[in-house]
Amino acid sequence: MTERSPFQIGPEGGGMMAILRANPAMWAVLAINVVYFLVLELAGGSEDIEVLIKYGAKYGPDIADGQFWRLVTPVFMHIGFGHLFANSIPLLIFGGIVERSYGWKAFLAIYFTAGVGGNVASYAAGPTVGAGASGAVFGLLGAFTIFLYLNRSMFGSTARSSLAGLAFIIAVQIVIGLTTTGVDNWAHLGGLVIGSIVAIRLSPRSGTQNTFGLNRRLLATQSVMQQASPAVIGTATVTALAVLLLITVAVSRGDSERNRTLTEDLTGRAISALLVQDFEAASSYARQALAANPDGSFLGTLYLIKGLGESQEGELDDAIRDLNLALSYGLNDAESRALAESELARLTGR
């Protein structure tokens, strides 16, 4: 496929419809992100850990159990409006340029594989809950960088200045990620690396095209861009996803120790929340710890905490069930057993 590069031009006239037609894939991705965010909000809140896990967040224990689809859904999930806004701005700034340069099919391939790559890197770094399009956005930054570098002879000084600006933006974002708590820097790096690698294969290359008159005499030679074919895009996407899946399977085999550590951490948080009578948080942490497949030494305590939290929240049937489970799994001390028995008696009236 041969066509002019849209790097230096945007939609020409037509107002909003022209803008939508110029970047259909970018707007589609943005719409999916917004709809997914609204679904999470209506389900209980996009910042609620349990809601995030239920609706597809990256969560190490579940991925280790074979739920590999959790590497895909977090690409379109966001934790709070601020998170959605922070990822939407660079998507709007760079997404349109990348889509017009690569074409919408290659844009989606880069965005998707970079997002999954970011989640794989994040999963390999730790089993905690995660979501967001930042890995995919970093992949777009990498793709734009690759495009400018491979075609620097065509764009001249524009490419050099843009490359310097992109390098500065990427470096600043990485430093922010390394020095700020709550930022998944591994997802950023994973998305940047995978997006750049896929972009090397899919990036349009500058070339020349000759035009001739009726008598076959050469009239002009013009610079053109040759975009990747659908077959190349499909092959690159499938190959990247297959490699990422193999990495995930390899990481999952060594996850038992990480899950045990995660369970201990979440159990400690649940106990701390219970001590300050934050029953909602205590119950939430207990649910997460149970999802991490704890061994028998934790089960009684976790079901006790979960049951007490449910009791305070008015979820009586669940509380009775979990308090009975706590007693059946066994509790390590007489005080915990007495607490479970007294609360159970209060709820059942016996």
pLDDT at 116: 96
User: 256-348, what's its fold?
Assistant: 1.25.40
- Provide the residue type at 59 as one letter: Y
pLDDT at 345: 85
Print burial letters for 130-169: b (CB count within 10 Å at least 16), e (below 16).
Answer: bbbbbbbbbbbbbbbbbbbbbbbebbeeebeebbeebeee
Q: Quick one: CA dihedral 175, 108, 88, 36, positive or negative?
A: negative
pLDDT at 256: 56
pLDDT at 208: 53
Largest CA distance in the chain: 103
- Residue 83 is a catalytic residue: no
Print burial letters for 321-344: b (CB count within 10 Å at least 16), e (below 16).
Answer: ebbebbbebebeeeebbebbeebb
Distance, in Å, from the CA atom of 216 to the CA atom of 2, rounded to the nearest integer, reads 21
Distance, in Å, from the CA atom of 82 to the CA atom of 86, rounded to the nearest integer, reads 6
- Residue span(s) of the chain under CATH 1.20.1540.10 come to 2-252
For 201, the token pair is 């294969």
Q: Are 176 and 189 spatial neighbours (Cβ–Cβ below 8 Å)? A: no
What 164-172 contacts at long range (C-beta under 8 Å, 24+ apart), as own/partner pairs, is 166/141, 169/141, 170/138, 170/141, 170/142, 170/145
| pTM score of the predicted model | 0.72
For 68, the token pair is 């590999």
pLDDT at 199: 94
> CA dihedral defined by 29, 30, 33, 34, rounded to 10 degrees?
-150
pLDDT at 225: 65
CATH superfamily membership of 2-252? Rhomboid-like (1.20.1540.10)
Residue of 88, 134, 203, 283 marked catalytic: 134
Burial class (CB in 10 A: 0-12, 13-18, 19+), 275: exposed
Helix (H/G/I), strand (E/B), else coil: 114: helix
pLDDT at 99: 92
- Residue 134 is a catalytic residue: yes
Q: Are 99 and 25 spatial neighbours (Cβ–Cβ below 8 Å)? A: yes
pLDDT tens for the chain, 350 residues long, are: 444 444 444 554 455 566 667 789 999 999 999 999 999 999 988 888 778 888 999 988 788 778 899 999 999 999 999 999 989 999 998 898 899 889 999 999 999 999 999 999 998 887 778 899 999 999 999 999 999 888 887 776 776 777 888 888 888 877 777 766 667 888 999 999 999 999 999 998 765 555 555 566 655 555 556 788 889 999 999 999 999 999 888 887 765 556 667 777 777 888 888 788 787 888 888 887 777 655 556 778 888 888 888 888 788 888 888 888 888 877 777 787 888 888 888 888 75
The gap from C-alpha 28 to its chain's centroid, in whole angstroms, comes to 17
Residue of 101, 188, 284, 311 marked catalytic: 188
- Residue span(s) of the chain under CATH 1.25.40.10 come to 256-348
- Provide the residue type at 218 as one letter: L
